[in-house]
Chain A
Amino acid sequence: MQLGRVLAAALIICGMGLAGPVFAESTVRIAWYSDGNEGEVLLDLLKRFEAKNADIKVVVDQMPYKAIGETLPVQIASGQGPDIARVTDLGGLARYTLDLRPYLKDPAYWEKNFGPFLAWMRPEGDTQSIPGLMTQLTVTGPYVNKTLFEQAGIAMPGPQATWDDWAKATKTVADKVGAPFPIAIDRSGHRVFGMVISQGGKVFDDKGEPAVTDAGFKATAQRLYDWHKGGMMGKELWGSVSGATYRAANDEFKNGQVVLYLSGSWQIAQFDKTIGNAFDWIAVPNPCGPGGCTGMPGGSGLIAIKTAKDPKAVGRVMDYLADEDVLREFYSRTLFVPGHLGLSAKGVDYPTASPLAKEALGIFSKGVGSVAPLAFRLQGYPYNRLVFNAVISRIGQAVSGETSLEEAYKRIDADVAQQIAERKK
């Protein structure tokens, strides 16, 4: 009798424990990476979704950015990937995306608000599908340590300043205040191509094939090479690792060691949180050249994967996350530039941002308007990663003194041609 009661109690307790998962009919897995607080914000938003949609359980796998770039594509290709993933290589992963149209409440809303960005996510030749939404629109651009300029008593170059103007000014500041790095640029091909297009680089030939190493590219590469040689840039970023390894200089900037840091709008929340009152920092418009004053657009998209076990549930989760109110809160709390045209037009409030962060958001939001069409085209090019990889790998070798720039140009062209041919097999 006693044993029977104990067993009954145990069954009830187990039943209570299992009630949640048993009630949820479907589980949707999201692979997610974070630069700042966006992971926390997402979890908060999804809690509310689950409260209203008890039949769907959403599991968020938080991954490092490196794993998103290296492990996730293989996982997805093998059919073992998540149902939804936050990625930046939208073109490269386009072949694995799920067309959400049959599962969305209102596909027209998506077309209207994510239209131009959907082209970045679609497989080659596809002009109709809706693979996902933009969690963030980014644009590359420089951050400046304003305090260092003030300490040096040097005036900052104006909005139409060239890269050479900035190089001269930052070198003077660094020499006066003893900062080790006048300029730092992420070891990323994406960052470089904003400079390349500003220097008049055309990137593609008349047939639409990559023709990377033109005069505009060479003008940029020569500057990067000279800046490393002349001590404008530290070799730790570009010269100390091999291949296509990504390296950022956000730690050096946060530590006050860098005068000008070329990165992008995704760093704002992080800088706002970690720099605090240590020094004043600002975002400045992209430096100009014969090709304009452009940065590279980009951003991270939340894409649905075609191997999703329950596409209907995926559609409901995506519909919720794409909702204007939900996205407004997401962008507002994460300090992201909206990747939703409606919200871009209406504007998003950033009540948690410091005055410095608000100013930087304003500069980057304006910067989106001055992004060159060629930069958008390159961002949407499905093989852009292969171009970026070749550029950083070979320029890195030149910077470290292993090869000449001329040799690097030949290798970039050969690498790009070979890699694309391999992809097209």
Chain B
Amino acid sequence: MTVDMQRAATARPMAGFDIWGVVVRVSDGPMRALQRVLGERRMPYVFLLPNLVFFTLFVFVPLGLNFWYSLTGGAALFPSQRPNVGLQQYGFLFDCGSMLDASSCREDHFWRGVHNTLFFVVIQVSLMVLFSLVTALVLNRPIRGRGFFRAVYFFPVLLSPVVVALIWKWILQRDGVLNAAITTLGGQKIIFFVDPGWAMFWAIFVSIWAHMGFYTLILLAGLQAIPRDLYEAAAMDGTRPMRVLLRITLPLLWPNMIVVIVLALIRGVQTFDEVFVLTGGGPGTATLMVVQYIYETAFANQAQNFGLAAAASVVLGVVLFVLTLIQLGFSRRRAGA
């Protein structure tokens, strides 16, 4: 690898005063000197260094601090003032008669959060992938108003999750738009947020509504990358549409599907803002998610149990790490195939 910045500078079109050319010419000398000292093989690390510094400061250091907090107790904020309690916080979290029965656990809210999050992730991710796929397939066809529909499905992605949740809360509340419609049609008002089933249903529905556009876009990009000649060949052979879908579209779309599934899984496990604003985790703890448990344990109403919250977030981090490894595994297998 050679660093020929001068050539790069002269390759750019010169229109009047070229500030880029000046920057390159000024930095060329020092960079060449640095390359002579470090050698060509080490030069890439010089360019990686600024990003690595920020990554260390804002990711690795907080990660380490969080782990340290999980080994401490008390309500003090600064690590130096917090007594070390070893693995006690993890012991509290996993002190369970049966992990399948939250009420048998010492930290029952954590396990209710785990169960709710699992349920939410399984249902939400399955439906999200299914609806995104169907929408992408439809939007990939030459239908009338395709551009408009693509924009319509993507629009909720641009909204803040809090705004999304507030809009739906107003729609769904006792005197909201939906209940007004129901009563106009002669039905009885439904108080959605006091019924555990309805609350979870709307949490999943709103989450899918808000994020489906993003995943549809990824799948649409994948669909458009499939060579047209494969479909033409299938049409010439008289292949049925379902067979085209199963034998051409889905196999070639699989790398994008993996990305969508893993991203949706990670996002699902991290769910907090929308559900928190929409249902507040209720009724009872019916829609309490793990991240809300962590937030409330640390901050809500001055609980300030930072150690326990940190331990729960370490557990959550491990789960997310495993999910990322699975994604990497799939990607590599695919690349090797």
For chain B, residues 244 to 294, give those with C-beta under 8 angstroms from any C-beta of chain A: 279-288, 292
For chain B, residues 294 to 310, give those with C-beta under 8 angstroms from any C-beta of chain A: 296, 299-305, 307-308
Tell me if A401 and B284 are in contact (CB < 8 A): yes
Tell me if A246 and B301 are in contact (CB < 8 A): yes
Instruction: Chain B residues near A389: list those with CB within 8 A.
Output: 300-301, 303
Q: For the side of the interface on A, what is the size category?
A: 35 or more
Tell me if A243 and B300 are in contact (CB < 8 A): yes
Query: Is B27 positioned at the interface, with any CB of A under 8 Å from its CB?
Result: no
Query: Is A160 positioned at the interface, with any CB of B under 8 Å from its CB?
Result: no
Binary interface profile of B, 134-165, with partner A (CB < 8 Å = 1, else 0)?
00000000000000000000000000000000
Which one of A77, A242, A411, A419 contacts B282 once the chains associate, using CB atoms below 8 Å?
A: A242
Q: Complex Cα distance A246/B286, Å?
A: 17
Query: Is A235 positioned at the interface, with any CB of B under 8 Å from its CB?
Result: yes
| A400/B301 contact (C-beta < 8 A), A239-B194, A423-B75 known | no
Tell me if A397 and B302 are in contact (CB < 8 A): no
Closest B residue to A188 by beta carbon equals: B301
Instruction: Chain B residues near A388: list those with CB within 8 A.
Output: 301
Tell me if A243 and B302 are in contact (CB < 8 A): no
Closest B residue to A237 by beta carbon equals: B194
Instruction: Chain B residues near A180: list those with CB within 8 A.
Output: 174
Tell me the minimal C-beta distance from B61 to chain A in angstroms.
16
Tell me if A422 and B302 are in contact (CB < 8 A): no
Tell me if B103 and A422 are in contact (CB < 8 A): no
Which one of A385, A393, A400, A422 contacts B74 once the chains associate, using CB atoms below 8 Å?
A: A422
Instruction: Chain A residues near B191: list those with CB within 8 A.
Output: 234-236
Tell me if A243 and B296 are in contact (CB < 8 A): yes
Binary interface profile of A, 372-413, with partner B (CB < 8 Å = 1, else 0)?
000000000000011011000100110111110001000100
Tell me if B76 and A240 are in contact (CB < 8 A): no
Tell me the minimal C-beta distance from A229 to chain B in angstroms.
12
Tell me the minimal C-beta distance from A105 to chain B in angstroms.
33
Instruction: Chain B residues near A236: list those with CB within 8 A.
Output: 174, 191, 193-194
Instruction: Chain B residues near A325: list those with CB within 8 A.
Output: none
Closest A residue to B113 by beta carbon equals: A242
Instruction: Chain B residues near A397: list those with CB within 8 A.
Output: 284-285
Tell me the minimal C-beta distance from A317 to chain B in angstroms.
25
Q: Complex Cα distance A399/B299, Å?
A: 24
Query: Is B108 positioned at the interface, with any CB of A under 8 Å from its CB?
Result: yes
Tell me the minimal C-beta distance from B253 to chain A in angstroms.
39
Instruction: Chain B residues near A92: list those with CB within 8 A.
Output: 302
Tell me if B300 and A244 are in contact (CB < 8 A): yes
Query: Is A89 positioned at the interface, with any CB of B under 8 Å from its CB?
Result: yes
| A239/B302 contact (C-beta < 8 A), A77-B76, A244-B296 known | no
Q: Complex Cα distance A74/B75, Å?
A: 10
Instruction: Chain A residues near B103: list those with CB within 8 A.
Output: 403, 407
Q: Complex Cα distance A421/B292, Å?
A: 23
Instruction: Chain B residues near A396: list those with CB within 8 A.
Output: 282, 284
Q: Complex Cα distance A71/B77, Å?
A: 13
Query: Is B85 positioned at the interface, with any CB of A under 8 Å from its CB?
Result: yes
Instruction: Chain A residues near B296: list those with CB within 8 A.
Output: 242-244
- Listed residue (B83, B287, B305, B307) with the most chain A CB atoms within 10 angstroms of its CB: B305
Tell me the minimal C-beta distance from B272 to chain A in angstroms.
13
Query: Is A241 positioned at the interface, with any CB of B under 8 Å from its CB?
Result: yes
Tell me if A241 and B281 are in contact (CB < 8 A): yes
Query: Is B196 positioned at the interface, with any CB of A under 8 Å from its CB?
Result: yes
| A242/B301 contact (C-beta < 8 A), A403-B103, A422-B75 known | no
Q: Complex Cα distance A397/B77, Å?
A: 30
Which one of B109, B292, B299, B303 contacts A419 once the chains associate, using CB atoms below 8 Å?
A: B303
Query: Is A276 positioned at the interface, with any CB of B under 8 Å from its CB?
Result: no
Q: Complex Cα distance A388/B108, Å?
A: 18
For chain B, residues 184 to 243, give those with C-beta under 8 angstroms from any C-beta of chain A: 191, 193-194, 196, 199
For chain B, residues 68 to 98, give those with C-beta under 8 angstroms from any C-beta of chain A: 73-78, 83, 85
Instruction: Chain B residues near A70: list those with CB within 8 A.
Output: 299-302
Closest B residue to A69 by beta carbon equals: B301
Q: Complex Cα distance A15/B288, Å?
A: 56
Instruction: Chain A residues near B300: list those with CB within 8 A.
Output: 70, 243-245, 389
Q: Complex Cα distance A119/B296, Å?
A: 29
Closest B residue to A247 by beta carbon equals: B280
Binary interface profile of A, 212-256, with partner B (CB < 8 Å = 1, else 0)?
000000000000000000000011100111111110000000000
Tell me the minimal C-beta distance from A184 to chain B in angstroms.
13
Tell me if A242 and B281 are in contact (CB < 8 A): yes
Query: Is A425 positioned at the interface, with any CB of B under 8 Å from its CB?
Result: yes
Instruction: Chain A residues near B77: list those with CB within 8 A.
Output: 74, 77-78
| A422/B284 contact (C-beta < 8 A), A70-B300, A240-B279 known | no
Query: Is A73 positioned at the interface, with any CB of B under 8 Å from its CB?
Result: yes
Closest A residue to B81 by beta carbon equals: A77
Tell me the minimal C-beta distance from B21 to chain A in angstroms.
32
Instruction: Chain B residues near A403: list those with CB within 8 A.
Output: 103, 284
Instruction: Chain A residues near B302: list those with CB within 8 A.
Output: 69-70, 73, 89, 92, 385
Q: Complex Cα distance A419/B300, Å?
A: 13
Tell me if B284 and A245 are in contact (CB < 8 A): no
Instruction: Chain A residues near B288: list those with CB within 8 A.
Output: 242-243
Instruction: Chain A residues near B280: list those with CB within 8 A.
Output: 240-242, 245
Tell me if A402 and B304 are in contact (CB < 8 A): no
Tell me the minimal C-beta distance from A311 to chain B in angstroms.
22
Tell me the minimal C-beta distance from B313 to chain A in angstroms.
16
Q: Complex Cα distance A236/B109, Å?
A: 20
Q: Complex Cα distance A407/B308, Å?
A: 23
Q: Complex Cα distance A246/B280, Å?
A: 10
- Listed residue (A71, A78, A236) with the most chain B CB atoms within 10 angstroms of its CB: A236
Instruction: Chain B residues near A422: list those with CB within 8 A.
Output: 73-75, 305, 307-308
Residues of B whose CB lies within 8 Å of any CB of A are 73-78, 83, 85, 103, 106, 108-109, 174, 191, 193-194, 196, 199, 279-288, 292, 296, 299-305, 307-308
Known: A77-B76, A245-B300. 20 other contacts (CB 8 A): A69-B301, A69-B302, A73-B302, A89-B302, A234-B191, A236-B174, A236-B193, A242-B109, A242-B282, A245-B280, A389-B301, A400-B196, A403-B284, A407-B103, A422-B73, A422-B74, A422-B305, A422-B308, A423-B75, A425-B73
User: Can you offer 24 A-B residue contacts whose CB atoms are under 8 A?
Assistant: A69-B302, A74-B299, A77-B78, A89-B302, A239-B282, A240-B282, A242-B280, A242-B282, A242-B285, A243-B285, A244-B303, A245-B280, A246-B301, A385-B301, A386-B303, A393-B109, A399-B284, A401-B283, A402-B283, A411-B108, A422-B75, A422-B305, A422-B308, A425-B83
Please provide the 10 A-B residue pairs with the shortest distance between their CB atoms, ordered closest to farther: A241-B280, A242-B281, A400-B284, A402-B284, A77-B77, A425-B74, A400-B283, A235-B194, A241-B282, A244-B301
